Amino acid sequence: MRLFLDANVLFTAAHNPNGKAALVISLGSEGFWQLATNAYAREEARRNLERKAPHQLVEFSRQMQSIRLVGDDTSVPCPCMQSRCVAHRRHS
């Protein structure tokens, strides 16, 4: 089974590493299911953590290592600052 993690799940898991969202990621990294997200969700979660809980960015990076990045719909504008976003530069 593959689970797509949106920005809310990514943010919550990093913000509260002992919570249920983090448990979903932990179980996925142990092979219970496949984890996926896209660059837009990853960037939105990262920016919100940077603003609201910058001390959790290390945890966010650690958790992202077990989550597969899937393709994006490039017709939708990226929610990040375009000059800083790797996904935006890749698709421009």
The domain limits of the chain are 2-91
Whole-angstrom distance, CA of residue 23 vs CA of residue 82: 32
> Does position 4 have pLDDT exceeding 50, yes or no?
yes
Which stretches of 1-92 are DSSP H helices?
A: 7-15, 20-29, 39-52, 57-64, 86-91
pLDDT tens per residue, range 31-83 = 999 999 999 999 999 999 999 999 999 999 999 999 999 986 666 665 555 55
> Does position 26 have pLDDT exceeding 60, yes or no?
yes
Please give the pLDDT value at position 76. 61
Mean pLDDT of 5-14: 98
Please give the pLDDT value at position 72. 67
Backbone region of residue 31 per phi and psi (left: phi > 0; alpha: psi in -120 to 50; beta: other values) = left
Please give the pLDDT value at position 85. 58
